[in-house]
A = this chain, B = another copy of it.
Amino acid sequence: MNRPLKVALLGCGTVGSSVLRALQEQADDLGARVGRAVEVAGVAVRRPDHHPDVPAELLTTDAHGLVTRDDVDLVVEVIGGIEPARSLMLAAFEAGKSVVSANKALLAEDGVALHAAAAKAGVDLYYEAAVAGAIPILRPLRESLVGDQLSRIVGIVNGTTNYILSRMAETGAGFGEALAEATELGYAEADPTADVDGFDAAAKAAILASLAFHTPVSAADVHREGISTVTATDVARAAEIGCTVKLLAICERVDGNGDGDSVSVRVHPAMIPTSHPLASVGGAFNAVFVEAEAAGQLMFYGQGAGGEPTASAVLGDLVAVGRNRLAGAAGQGPSGYADLAVRPMAETPTRYHVSLDVADKPGVLAAVAQEFAQHGVSISTVRQTGRGDAATLVIVTHSAPDAALSATIAALREMPAVRGVTSVLRVEGLQ
């Protein structure tokens, strides 16, 4: 007799209840795909009385007891946050259980140690749902593209900020107004810090970079800037040069010119050309753009959040982990063999867009251009628009170390001929 695979579910919020429903309603299909019936062993929650839809005999407040129960094979962790998720995961590994998680914060903070614990126990740790919801991206990076050399990943991986920036572009609203609308419509949480300040995207960037470059990268390694400083002017200036503003998670291999390559991992708003495949990713959708040496350009697009889409990713991992369990083998964890250095933001090559209000008199452009040159920054394009005794200069630079670019901006602010620096934003994806 083949006894069923038993699943312990930790957490029963939006994602957890979608997973639970699927485990119940699609039990036959899931069983056929795993090769063995799959049953729910229990559901650990903090307040059982808040879950009237869950059969009472499944509910428990003793999460630790549940994950270490002898009859449990697999643990699905959808609590989120660092603790108690980490302790429960480690307890599960120690008890020989495989874990499927949607916990980007925990994986980004402590992925190396967690993978080591899983490997030591000979069990699986899968977490496709942690990045870009339903979009299959971690497995393609870890498996499909593992024979290729990745050069860069650029992702729109946070739906809240993408919704806000999309609305700013559509309506001309400022950040505050667009955030208020997003909050009212439920696209932003009451405390939007994790999204708006880029913490959520930074955790996802760390996970993507780790897999793409076979290098341990944690959230603390990620340079992070949010979108609260993006102004209506920035968005308007972007449109004028054929661009749109997006919050990007960028993971890039930087050529060390013989001194050893490094990786740059960063999250910041940037202008991208409207012709770029990522530019048309609107509203709460997510997309991940990948460049690889042999494969060329790839893009993965879909819903990045929500109970059902995230549950789809969790269940895909659950079937994979279940199959591995039956085969008596753990799947391959990520490999950190390359162990590249993470490049500081100051030394990372970027490009800037700068808009300046200047006095419209001879020699101003020359003086401004000289300031860029003194910092070793070469200019790609300049557009000058006169209006009365003032003029607007819109400058897009070539690539230069980020520190040289920010020093240039600081120096421009001090120039007498420059009345104001009205917009500064990095530019990505321009030819």
**A residues within 8 Å of B by Cβ?**
18, 22, 26, 29-30, 32-33, 128, 134-136, 139-140, 143-149, 214, 277, 280, 292-303, 306, 308-309, 311-320, 323, 327-329, 332, 335, 337-338
Contact B298 A302 (CB under 8 A): yes
Sample (14) of A-B pairs whose CB atoms are under 8 Å apart: A29-B338, A32-B337, A134-B298, A144-B316, A145-B312, A146-B315, A148-B315, A292-B312, A294-B311, A294-B315, A297-B302, A297-B303, A298-B303, A301-B301
In Å, the complex CA distance between A145 and B306 comes to: 16
Partner of A312, one of B147, B308, B311, B338: B147
Contact between B327 and A329 (Cβ–Cβ < 8 Å)? yes
Report the separation of the CA atoms of residues A318 and B311 in the bound assembly, to the nearest whole angstrom: 30
Least CB distance from A261 to B in Å reads 12
Whether A294 contacts B312 by the Cβ 8 Å rule is: yes
Q: Cβ of A329: which chain B residues have Cβ within 8 Å of it?
A: 327-329
Write the nearest CB–CB distance from A31 to chain B, whole angstroms.
10
In angstroms, Cα B293 to Cα A18, docked, is 12
Count of this chain's copies in the oligomeric assembly: 2
Nearest B residue (CB) for A298:
B302
A328 to B328, CA, bound (A): 10
Shortest A99–chain B CB gap in Å is 16
Query: Is chain A's binding surface mostly helix, strand, loop or mixed?
Result: mixed
Residues from chain B with a CB closer than 8 A to the CB of A298 are: 134-136, 300-303
* Set B303, B319, B327: member contacting A295, Cβ < 8 A: B303
Given contacts A214-B33, A302-B299, A332-B323, contact A134 B312 (CB under 8 A): no
Contacts of A33 in B (CB 8 A): 146-147, 214, 335, 337
Does the CB pair B136–A319 fall under 8 Å? no
Q: How far is the CA of A181 from the CA of B313 in the complex (A)?
A: 44
A316 close to B134 (CB less than 8 A): no
A139 interface neighbour in B144, B302, B311, B317, Cβ under 8 Å:
B144
Provide the bound-state CA to CA distance between A33 and B332, in Å.
10
Q: Which of B26, B299, B335 contacts A32 (CB 8 A)?
A: B335
**Which of A295, A300, A328 gathers most chain B CB within 10 Å?**
A295
B296 touches A32 (CB 8 A): no
Residue on B nearest A306 in the bound complex, by CB? B296
User: Is B134 a contact partner of A320 (Cβ separation < 8 A)?
Assistant: no
Q: Please indicate the chain B residues that have their CB under 8 angstroms from the CB of A148 in the complex.
A: 134, 312, 315-316
Is A147 a contact partner of B314 (Cβ separation < 8 A)? yes
Q: A317, A318, A320: which has the most chain B beta carbons within 10 Å?
A: A320
Residue of A26, A147, A149, A306 with most chain B CB atoms under a 10 A cut-off? A147
Residues from chain B with Cβ under 8 Å of A139 in the complex: 136, 139-140, 143-144
CA distance A147 to B329 in the complex (A): 20
Q: In whole angstroms, how far apart are the Cα atoms of A30 and B149 in the complex?
A: 10
Contact status B145-A316, CB under 8 Å:
yes
Chain B: CB-nearest residue to A297: B302
Cα(A18)–Cα(B412), bound, Å: 50
- Cα distance A205–B108 when bound, in Å? 38
Q: How far is the CA of A135 from the CA of B148 in the complex (A)?
A: 12
Determine how close the nearest CB of chain B comes to the CB of A419; give it in whole angstroms: 41
Measured between C-beta atoms, what is the minimum distance from A282 to chain B in Å? 11
In Å, the complex CA distance between A2 and B144 comes to 25
B294→A147 contact, CB < 8 A: no
Q: Is the CB of B320 within 8 A of A308?
A: no
Q: With a CB–CB cut-off of 8 A, which chain B residues contact A214?
A: 32-33
Q: Are B146 and A136 in contact (CB under 8 A)?
A: no
Which residues of B sit under 8 angstroms from A316, Cβ to Cβ? 143-148
Which residues of chain B come closer than 8 Å to A302, judged between CB atoms?
A: 295-299
